[in-house]
Structure 1
Amino acid sequence: MRKAIAFVMAGILMVTAMTGCSKSGGATQAAAKAADKASDITGKTVVFIPKLTGNAFFESAGKGAQKYGKEWGINVDYQGSPNAAVADQVSVINNAVASGVDAICVSSVDATGLDSALEEASAAGVTVVTWDSDVSNTARTLMVSQGTPDILGKMLVDMGADSLTKRGTDIKADKIKYCWHYSQATVADQNSWQAAGEAYIKENYPNWENVAPDNYYSEQDAEKAVSIGASILEANPDIDLIICNDSTALPGQCKAAQNKGLTKEDVTITGFASPMSIKDYCNAGIIEQWGLWDCQVQGAIGSYLAAYISAGNQLKVGDKLDIPKIGTVEVLPNDCLVDGASTGDVNNGVVLLPERTVFNKDNMNNYDF
């Protein structure tokens, strides 16, 4: 587990963020104040809520948040449901508020489905921060995002294009048949990556054909991810590329290909998932490369910010905050993630992770999540 956001290892292909976000307001002395105010968060309780439990990505993020939380003197309580459902997350949120916690840090299964519950939580004095997947920006303070839609959409397509090239495909001339397989149409982050990826494909690879414009969804259900993955391969025996921008869909799609006796030489599969959840498929020759970000650091940043704001501290767009054991983060406006989105004057905005990582057989064993 790395103890800094900016981590570089030999042989690792890093994808560096270029945010392109507009900025309002200037940087303040927040970074200098962080050390002085760090004691303010001691004893705070943050309920850390994943989209679902039992998934390697979310379990790793929770472990990272709890590990760093102990070092900061805050209590990070990992609470969730094995079902990726709005009703389940609302129940967890309501229980957290009823128990008197200081803050909630949640990855939402739906772009707006949690808004009412989170607004009620805020009204009850509970600080709300999101991470990984957002809600309406009026229903939370800060969002800790893995990257902008343009960054992540391009990354997904580039991984697919590079893998196809390694198979000997001419990605500029050949007719590439592809599709998207992810959780569901109501998840804001994955939809934004898919939309940005589609725009990138149309601009750079007009010869590619999306064989399923309505996409394939497996609802973050591990068994369904395999069955949907199998149906993709059955319906499209000549498909070249399957992009899985979801940490449940990717291993499910790899398993479906393995069950059918296919390898990375037959079909290119790529997407986002933790290295530990995919390494066996990589070793088996099912997948060439895939990507992610340090979800343990992401979970930790979200928890720290939740505790920091709940302690009465304020952050504005342009402020830089030094997070102990991790590094400096900057608050950006909400239009980094959603075009035209407004940003509140204080304690409202986006914090981006500065880097993402592409995993392959050469570097995947360097990670423990």
Structure 2
Amino acid sequence: MKKSILFVLVVSLVFSVAVFANGAGDSGKDAADIEVVFIPKLTGNMFFESANVGAQDIAAKVGFTCTYDGSPNASVADQVQIINSAVARGVDAISISSLTPDGLNDALKKAQDNGIKVVTWDSDVDPMYRELYVNQGTPEILGKLLVDMAADQMTDSQKASAKFAFFYSSPTVTDQNAWVEYAKVYIGENYPGWELLTTEYGEQDAQKSFQIGQSILDTYSDLDAILCPDSTALPGMAEAARRANLTKDDIIITGFATPSSMREYLKDNTIEAFGLWDCGLQGAMGAYLAYWLALGNTFSVGDSIDIPGIGSVKVESNDIQGYKNAPKDTGIVLLPERVVFTTANVDDYNF
């Protein structure tokens, strides 16, 4: 059974015994009274569209309204406008994947000042401007995974002296830069002979990512590996390699993207492996936790929160993401697992 279909069935089956496991909260509102605005980095990207499927599924089961509101462009200004519009409409909660670590601060502060609960998912903001962050993995978890997926494909000679590149969305996006910074630390500790030749950015634009992928191949013909921790950069890089008639035997390309966007590149031997997490699950958790807070529920670090169809999730300290002096009434919820996709398992997933 396809994994995203399985998730929907599990939500349906468990819902009958798990609804409102944490009570109705103190807001005096019922589920039908709550509106959560669910904001991606951009629309049209399979990662964020899949996250929205998870968000809409759980909203329908629980009974709250989840409004998907995003821009087709990866624009901080557009995210600010969407937040301001949500504030003007008087919504109850915002759940957002931020394009910037600090560019949304003023807009989110205005939302909080108007009683709107803020949750981040996928990519965070300063903990001062949100209550919870639904995190796909700490920088240590994902930075290590990114490097290991490349190293596992290398010969002993390559492991000793690989030349590599990073290619992802931008120099300012919170999540990907944190993963890359830890990846550099991990490489220094475990593969000191590796040489970083370039770091390139595709701005989460599909055509630009393809063109930059071509440029990387043209400029750095001696690369052993290209690490792409971005769901737009990775397929763009793979397409550039395919059009150059390069296969996984010629160059290692790996990173994070959805199975649906990368399946064909696995099957035609352009790449050998890539990774991700269940973005539908992440979307469901991001939407539900925003709703749960809007009901008036509160938490402390170390508490567990029951999510219908998903189970109990623990609120971790902001310290696991490297934050210092974060507000005590904020925290992080981690996704339970990450997945490495190969030809052996990619058809088990349909997001």
TM-score (norm 1): 0.88
**Residues 200 and 212, structure 2, Cα contact 8 Å, conserved in 1:** yes
Q: Deviations over 1:283-306 (max 9, x none)?
A: 111110000000101011111110
Q: Deviations over 1:185-225 (max 9, x none)?
A: 1101100000000100010001111012xx10010000000
User: For 1:361, which of 312, 327, 343 is the aligned residue?
Assistant: 343
Cα distance in 2 for partners of 1:253, 1:231 equals: 10
CA drift at 1:163? 2.0
Cα distance in 2 for partners of 1:336, 1:32 equals: 30
User: For 2:7, which of 3, 6, 18 is the aligned residue?
Assistant: 3
1:263 has 2:247 as partner: yes
Amino acid across the alignment from 1:3: F
1:284 has 2:281 as partner: no
SS of equivalent to 1:192: helix
1:294 has 2:272 as partner: no
Cα distance in 2 for partners of 1:72, 1:281 equals: 38
CA drift at 1:257? 0.5
Distance 1:267 1:54, change over 3 A: same
Amino acid across the alignment from 1:37: A
Q: 1:207 corresponds to which residue?
A: 193
Cα distance in 1 for partners of 2:103, 2:166 equals: 23
Amino acid across the alignment from 1:162: D
CA drift at 1:74? 1.1
Cα distance in 2 for partners of 1:295, 1:194 equals: 20
**Correspondence list, 1:280-359, <5 A:** 280-339=264-323, 341-346=324-329, 348-359=330-341
**Correspondence list, 1:131-280, <5 A:** 131-164=121-154, 168-173=155-160, 175-212=161-198, 215-280=199-264
CA drift at 1:322? 1.1
Cα distance in 1 for partners of 2:89, 2:287 equals: 18
Cα distance in 1 for partners of 2:151, 2:272 equals: 11
Cα distance in 2 for partners of 1:332, 1:41 equals: 26
CA drift at 1:34? 3.2
Amino acid across the alignment from 2:164: Y
Q: Deviations over 1:12-70 (max 9, x none)?
A: xxxxxxxxxxxxxxxxxxx9983433895443111100000010000000111001110
Cα distance in 2 for partners of 1:301, 1:155 equals: 23
What is the count of residue pairs matched by the alignment?
336
Cα distance in 2 for partners of 1:238, 1:247 equals: 24
Cα distance in 1 for partners of 2:305, 2:31 equals: 14
CA drift at 1:345? 3.1
SS of equivalent to 2:23: helix
**Residues 181 and 245, structure 1, Cα contact 8 Å, conserved in 2:** yes
Q: 1:95 corresponds to which residue?
A: 85
Q: 2:21 corresponds to which residue?
A: 34
TM-score (norm 2): 0.92
**Residues 244 and 271, structure 1, Cα contact 8 Å, conserved in 2:** yes
* Structure 2 unaligned regions, length at least 5: 11-17
Q: Superposition RMSD on alpha carbons, in Å?
A: 1.8
Cα distance in 2 for partners of 1:103, 1:286 equals: 42
Write 1 or 2 for the structure with the bigger share of helix: 2
**Residues 169 and 230, structure 2, Cα contact 8 Å, conserved in 1:** yes
Cα distance in 2 for partners of 1:69, 1:314 equals: 20
CA drift at 1:368? 1.3
**Residues 242 and 269, structure 1, Cα contact 8 Å, conserved in 2:** yes
Cα distance in 2 for partners of 1:55, 1:222 equals: 9
**Residues 254 and 286, structure 1, Cα contact 8 Å, conserved in 2:** yes
Q: Deviations over 1:123-158 (max 9, x none)?
A: 111111100000111011100000100000000000
